[in-house]
Amino acid sequence: MPKTMFEKIWEAHEVREELIYIDLHLVHEVTSPQAFEGLRMTGRSLRRPDKTVATADHNVPTDGTPTANMIKDKLSRKQVETLEENAAEFGIPVYSLGSDTQGIVHVIGPELGLTQPGNTIVCGDSHTSTHGAFGALAFGIGTSEVEHVMATQTLVQRRPKTMRINYTGTLSERVTSKDLILATIGRLGTGGMTGYVVEYAGEAIRELTMEQRLTVCNMTIEGGGRAGMIAPDETTYEYMRGKPGVPEEFEAAVEQWKQLPTDEGATFDHEIDIDASAISPMVTWGTTPGMVIEVTDRVPDPAEMPTAGERESAERALQYMGLEAGTPMEEVKPERVFIGSCTNSRISDLREAAGAIKGRRVADTIRAMVVPGSALVKTQAEEEGLDRIFEEAGFEWRGAGCSMCLGMNPDTLFEGERCASTSNRNFEGRQGKGGRTHLVSPTMATAAAIEGHFVDIRNWS
Amino acid sequence: MEPINIIEGEISFLDRSDVDTDQIIPKQFLKRVERTGFGEFLFYDWIRDGEIVLHPHPILVSGRNFGSGSSREHAVWALHQFGFKAVIAPSYSDIFFSNCTKNGFLPVALGAQECKAIAAAGECRIDLENQAVTWEGGEARFEIDGEIKRRLLGGLDDIALTLMGEDEIDEFEAGPGGSFGPDTQKLA
């Protein structure tokens, strides 16, 4: 019987019904300390340190602070040092602040070759869906489940439903995979994928580079999806080849991975088609990722929303965002620009952003920062001279970490500041209390930094 | 985990949809390395700004897609430690729902109209065993996975239950499944 990629991976990992074996457990400092403490209190060991890896990302300053014990914020320092101590005690590798391979957990997995097709991957972080871009089943879990995986290398899971989104046609020039996923969430809503594992398919997906695919799967959770997946292909294998963590018998592994894609005739619980060629550059206007419009649109009028609930949500969002209904999005002026996060901080994101600068400078009204997703991305970008391009244009060039995506570190917005951000969440206060976030692609963020307002990247010379 | 079955009493009503975990427990309170001490920071920004008033009644009622966003279990710890024992809403994010059930905190999914009616009644009684909610002037049944229900009713420890079948995990690892995935120690 024909099977979906999800079914093949799920069934290969069933220890027994609804108990799934986990191939890779990624750990970071925020959601793990209580899990390690739980192991200690019950006298349990960490079953498979060789399938576990840790890094420090959420709390780390991006100002060049060299090691954990130098972090100024006392609580952040404690959390990162606790991670280091726990990793040492339980025998798991840790890439902490100062390591050559430290970085955002969802950036280092792929770049080290740890993220592999056909695997089950979990982490105490909702953006674990990112790794599904390799044809893995990857999803975020809570701290109790982190402890469960540490103790048993398995997870109790109900079998989720399956959805496939088929993208017909190809993306227009300068329209990115960030726009594709924002447009998809705008159409399906913030709960539109809840309960589903979503496979992204079709011509537009096949044409994406590996890093562009990571951006798509990353934001699956913003549509409520349990996990996002993309079938592995030559693009995947080419990206992985030569990375340190990949199987030694790489070509043999590739032959295995070629069995993973969904079989012809396999059925999904839900299937939809989206015309990729009709997607425009997108900008969020409200306080959920589903509140998103084309850059050429005007800020929507709550009075025109179909239900009372939507009207109330939209009114509150506009008030929080300090926006008037009917304002053309291209007239909206950010004061801050943030290029970074597990959505858009990889080398290709930085190359695209730097490439759009073309000798121009950041507008006087804007403070802009670029935060590479990992120490390796930072090194690579500096070897390519991208740091100089950014700095000469007036961008700040920072150290690797989650940075202003969630403001658990010194990088935050001030009350009322408006930010064009390449991150994934525009929730109230996400980037700092009272901060106003507009989610965009890296090139859209760069153009906004230079012009001082949002622009349609398609017409921007 | 404490066993739960009957939860009854007054209701706090938070009439909003898409209440995300960043609001439930803002990021600045995620730096603790303990499981305790979160209750006083529940909805910190909204409460401090006077946007909402919440009383530590046993039951919280809210709108659709409750608990969206970040996987932080701290959100459940904060709700629980504030005083809530259950939440009633039309829908939840998957991770938040799962986190609730690992902490003896009951998430009940009912239709939007029923949620409004319960909020208007001001108090209700949740009976997990019989999967029923009753309030003055109404009652409704709710669905919950049988295994999740069994574990909540018994206050059962997931890890202990899984380890009772540890030989099955050993067997899985001895078979082809044991060779999946990278060896993280090789890189270290």
Alpha helical stretches, state H, A197-243: 203-206, 210-218, 234-240
Within 13 Å and on the Cβ side, how many CA atoms surround A363? Answer: 17
pLDDT score recorded for residue A302: 98
pLDDT score recorded for residue B188: 64
Site from A30, A119, A129, A343 to mutate, B interface, most B CB atoms within 10 angstroms: A30
In which residue ranges of chain A is pLDDT below 50?
A: none
Distance in Å, alpha carbon of A290 to nearest chain B alpha carbon: 10
Restricting to A residues 401-460, those with a Cβ less than 8 Å away from any Cβ of B are 406-408, 425, 427-430, 433
* R_g of chain B computed on alpha carbons: 19
- Cβ contact, residue pair B180, A92, below 8 Å: no
Q: pLDDT by residue (tens digit) across A229-278?
A: 999 999 999 999 999 999 999 999 999 999 999 999 999 999 999 999 99
* Paired sense of beta strands B6-14 and B123-127, if any: antiparallel
Q: pLDDT by residue (tens digit) across A330-376?
A: 999 999 999 999 999 999 999 999 999 999 999 999 999 999 999 99
pLDDT score recorded for residue A243: 97
Q: Which of A342, A288, A280 is nearest to A310 (CA)?
A: A288
Chain B residue numbers with beta carbons less than 8 Å from the beta carbon of A224 are 65, 68, 93-94
pLDDT score recorded for residue B82: 98
pLDDT score recorded for residue B88: 98
3-class SS at A405? helix
| Tokens encoding B107 | 């998430």
**Residue partners of A185: CB distance under 8 A and separation at least 6:** A192, A219, A222, A223, A289, A290, A292
CB-based contact B81:B39 (threshold 8 Å):
yes
What whole-number distance in Å separates Cα of residue A42 and Cα of residue A49?
Answer: 18
3-class SS at A375? helix
pLDDT score recorded for residue A126: 98
Strands of the A227-229 sheet, one edge to the other: A227-229, A196-202, A161-168, A270-275
pLDDT tens, residue order, chain B (188 aa): 899 999 999 999 999 999 999 999 999 999 999 999 999 999 999 999 999 999 999 999 999 999 999 999 999 999 999 999 999 999 999 999 999 999 999 999 999 999 999 999 999 999 999 999 999 999 999 999 999 999 999 999 999 999 999 999 999 999 999 899 999 999 86
Site from A36, A144, A146 to mutate, B interface, most B CB atoms within 10 angstroms: A144
φ/ψ bin of A375: left (φ > 0), alpha (ψ from -120 to 50), beta (otherwise): alpha
Q: Which of B108, B109, B112, B44 is nearest to B75 (CA)?
A: B44
Q: Which of A154, A134, A163, A175 is nearest to A275 (CA)?
A: A175
- Cβ contact, residue pair B98, A141, below 8 Å: yes
